[in-house]
Chain A
Amino acid sequence: MPVYYGSKERDASMSVIEVENLTKDYGFKRGVFGISFQIEKGEAYGFLGPNGAGKSTTIRHLIGFSKPDGGQTRIFGMDSFKHYNEILNRVGYIPGEIALPQGITGYEFLEMMKKLRGVKDNSMIKKLSDLFELDPSGDTKRMSFGNKRKLAIVAALMHDPEVLILDEPTSGLDPVMQEAFMELLREERRRGKTILLSTHIFSEVESLCDRVSIIKNGYIVDEFPMSKLKYAEDKLFKVKLKDEEEAVDLKKHVEASGCADCEKREEDTLYIQVNDKNINEFLSLLKEYDVEVLSHEKLTLEEYFMQYYLDDVQFKGVS
């Protein structure tokens, strides 16, 4: 049974998005099982997990597309399933898999969405279309994957919603567009928007989110503030010395002082983990040696999260 880290101690009165003991059981252990989290106003929240872990299921409940088997999801304090219409008018939602109505042009699709959302002001549409160099003239059926994605983004944000719920929004965009979109999100966050971002791309979470949770097999297995990773006080340095003799000697001295953990992986190279509070003691040892390279090996979000992605399901072969 995975460890459950809820966030029940948080003050729920400020929360814009609330997921409370949400359960949806699709059988065969698929679905989500009693998950809870809250997102406060103005907060950007990252939602990470392998394919099939329950990210899209959770999001589809939040948007009110699915009825929970147990528990509840709320946006602005309103039950998602009951107040589906009101919520859609105040939320921008980008789905994971985009299905556009066929036989119409991109223009017609945007006009349709404008009517649906009651959008009078074209400024957001103009801004987004320019940003993404969107060409909405073609038939939606013949559009490339990336172009469909751009259209979905414009449709989701045209009414300048207070809350953004984004399910892998950058998949299919090329790197330049991905970066443009992330810059847009950072700007929206500065404007006070509340954002839920489900993604596989760790660097996106890194550059945008305040908090992050990890979902696996339908359970939330970890939740923590991003600052915990960004300002890691334990740092891993790869230190290349003049020769093996120096490496052995430095290792001996570091271990004797107890200021850092040391591991020798190559002849002349040590991997040394130092906490910031011991950095001065460590440097005063290090200054006696001929350091050729001092490389800081950062623990990326990706490395941190990989442990949660590891799985052991066996699949049947070909022969």
Chain B
Amino acid sequence: MTEIKVNEVTKDYGKGRGVFDLDFEIKTGEIFGFVGTNGSGKTTTIRQMMGFLKPTKGNIEIRGLDAYKDATETKNFVGYIPGEIAFPDLPTGRSFIRSQAEFWKLKDLSFADELVKILQIDLSANPRKMSKGMKQKTAVIAALMNDSEILLLDEPTTGLDPLMRKHFLDILKREKAKGKTIFISSNIFQELEALCDRVALIKDGRIIDIAVMEEIRNPKRREYKIEFLDAEDFTAFKNLPYDFVRIKDEQKQVVLKIDIQDTGMLIRDLANYKIKFISENKYSLEKYFKEKFERIEGNEDDQ
């Protein structure tokens, strides 16, 4: 089932700024990542999903409702963490969370309490005087406490230290297991890599590519680095018909690429020699997008 449908959306701010012809769907229970440089259009996209901005062209559907026209209604099942957090003037973080609970007519605060414990947040502080990390944690609680089915998260891990980031990402994994649909933008490739089902790369307001993470986490073609103990073994091996990426004679080292169905063959070949070590050069989302970028920029040069 489709939870969020972005139909050929353009928001044109002029001078090439904005987002252009965005067209994608997010399925129920999916974690969809959104990555791009500052100013590439991540926040503009999320703000249109929230109904804060009206698209110049196209529309966004959230569970069949129009994100802009039916914005009041969609708020009932959408939790949101804004990219820049501005709190109302309230004496403590606790009073802010309570005011949010009233907005949703939420009686049961046990989930909020649980989040407070996981994220180790001191809610007695004035929200406007909180550090960036503290503000971020308070916003996380406000967005998640209503147990909303859809979460729209704009760089939610900014300002969190690694442990808090881990706790937060674990929370999102649990929410996914409950069937939540999550849209998350980030600057950090690694955190999207482990978390997301798909990740879109946006550049200058346009989606360049949508990566399927399973194919990146478990690639069909892998790269290994092997170092040999003896010069004869090294020489014999490098003459075998493998796809060598690099050969370093001084270190008696090779880097090669193989399709996974040839793994057995590689192991049987290696068993004939004395090696010092074998390690894998892992494929990553960053490498994947870098390759895409190079291809695109290469094409632009051709024109």
A310 at the interface (CB under 8 A from B): yes
A235 partner, pick from B267, B268, B270, B277, beta carbons under 8 A: B277
Interface residue SS majority, chain A: mixed
Please, what's the 1-or-0 string for A174-196, where 1 marks a CB less than 8 Å from any CB in chain B?
A: 11111000000000000000000
A292 to B267, CA, bound (A): 11
Asked whether A276 lies within 8 Å of B112 as measured between CB atoms, the reply is no
Closest chain A CB from B108 CB (angstroms): 9
Which residues between 173 and 220 of chain A lie within 8 Å of chain B, taking CB atoms? 174-178, 200, 202-203
Q: How far is the CA of A289 from the CA of B263 in the complex (A)?
A: 11
Residues of chain B lying within 8 A (CB to CB) of residue A315: 116-117, 120-123
Judge whether A280 is part of the interface by a CB distance below 8 angstroms: yes
The number of A-B residue pairs with CB atoms under 8 Å apart is 124
The reply to whether the CB of A76 lies closer than 8 angstroms to some CB of chain B is: no
Query: A131 at the A/B interface (Cβ < 8 Å)?
Result: no
Give Cα A296 to B219, complex, Å: 13
Instruction: List, in ascending order, chain A residues with CB within 8 A of B278's CB.
Output: 279, 283, 296
Query: By the criterion CB–CB under 8 Å, are A318 and B279 in contact?
Result: no
Tell me if A224 counts as interface (CB < 8 A to partner B): no
Let me know if A287 is at the binding interface, CB within 8 A: yes
Are B162 and A302 in contact, CB atoms less than 8 angstroms apart? yes
Give the chain A neighbours of B282 by CB distance below 8 A.
296, 298
Given contacts A235-B277, A287-B268, contact A317 B116 (CB under 8 A): yes
Q: Does B299 contact A (CB under 8 A)?
A: no
**CB-CB under 8 A for A305 and B116, given A175-B189, A283-B271, A287-B267:** no
**Residues 272-288 of B contacting A (Cβ, < 8 Å):** 274-280, 282
CA distance A294 to B259 in the complex (A): 11
Quick one: CB contact mask for A141-166 with B, threshold 8 Å, 1 for yes? 00010100000000000000000000
On whether the beta carbons of B264 and A174 are closer than 8 Å, the reply is: no
Note all chain A residues with C-beta closer than 8 A to B76.
none
Q: Could you tell me if A146 and B277 are in contact, using CB atoms closer than 8 angstroms?
A: no
B161-A51 in contact (CB<8A): yes
> Contact between A314 and B117 (Cβ–Cβ < 8 Å)?
yes
> Quick one: CB contact mask for A286-310 with B, threshold 8 Å, 1 for yes?
1101111111101000100110011
B113 adjacent to A175 (CB under 8 Å): no
Q: A146-B38, A292-B263, A302-B162 are in contact. Are A280 and B112 (CB under 8 A)?
A: no
Which residues of B29-63 are within 8 A (CB) of A? 35, 37-39
B211 to chain A, nearest CB (A): 15
Scan A257-293; emit 1 where CB is below 8 A from any B CB, else 0: 0000000000000000000100110011011011111
Q: Which residue of B lies closest to A295 (CB)?
A: B280
With beta carbons under 8 angstroms apart, the residue of B39, B109, B131 that contacts A319 is: B109
Q: Which chain B residues border A296 with CB–CB below 8 Å?
A: 224, 278-280, 282
The bracket for how many chain A residues form the interface is 35 or more
- Scoring A233, A279, A305, A314 by chain B CB atoms within 10 A of each residue's CB, the highest score goes to A279
**Assembly CA distance A292 to B188 (angstroms):** 31
Choice from B37, B224, B264 contacting A175 with Cβ under 8 Å:
B37
Q: Would A317 and B112 be within 8 Å (CB), given that A279-B277, A296-B282 are in contact?
A: yes
For residue B98, which residues in chain A have a CB less than 8 angstroms away from its CB? 318
* Contact between A318 and B94, CB atoms less than 8 A apart: yes
CA distance A291 to B270 in the complex (A): 14
B87 CB → nearest A CB, Å: 15
Task: Find out whether the CB atom of A144 lies under 8 angstroms from the CB atom of B38.
Answer: yes
The answer to whether B263 and A318 have CB atoms under 8 Å apart is no
Cβ proximity bits A31-73 to B, threshold 8 Å, 1 near / 0 not? 0000000000000000000110000000000000000000000
Is residue A313 within 8 Å, beta carbon to beta carbon, of the partner chain?
yes
The answer on a CB contact under 8 Å between A291 and B263 is: yes
Contact of B124 with A by CB under 8 A? yes
Q: Mark B114-152, 1 if CB is under 8 A from A, else 0.
A: 001100111110000001010000000100000000000
| Contact of B163 with A311 in the complex, beta carbons under 8 Å | yes
Nearest chain-B residue to A53 (Cβ)?
B161
Decide if B120 touches A313 in the complex (CB within 8 Å): yes
- B264 A290 Cβ-Cβ under 8 A: yes
A317 touches B38 (CB 8 A): no
The yes or no answer to B251 lying at the interface (CB within 8 A) is: no
Q: Does A316 contact B (CB under 8 A)?
A: yes
Q: Do the beta carbons of B163 and A276 come within 8 Å of each other?
A: no
A contacts, CB < 8 Å to B: 50-51, 144, 146, 171, 174-178, 200, 202-203, 233, 235, 276, 279-280, 283-284, 286-287, 289-296, 298, 302, 305-306, 309-311, 313-319
18 A-B pairs with C-beta separation under 8 A: A175-B35, A177-B37, A235-B277, A235-B279, A276-B276, A276-B277, A283-B270, A283-B278, A286-B267, A287-B271, A294-B266, A295-B280, A296-B224, A306-B166, A315-B123, A316-B122, A317-B113, A319-B110
Given A292-B261, A306-B166, A309-B162, 6 more contacts at CB 8 Å?
A: A174-B38, A287-B267, A292-B260, A298-B279, A314-B117, A317-B123
Residues of B within 8 A of A (CB): 35, 37-39, 94, 97-98, 101, 109-110, 112-113, 116-117, 120-124, 131, 133, 141, 158-159, 161-164, 166, 187-190, 218, 222, 224, 260-261, 263-264, 266-268, 270-271, 274-280, 282
**Which 8 A-B pairs give the minimum distances between C-beta atoms?**
A317-B113, A296-B280, A309-B163, A174-B38, A319-B109, A174-B37, A287-B271, A51-B161
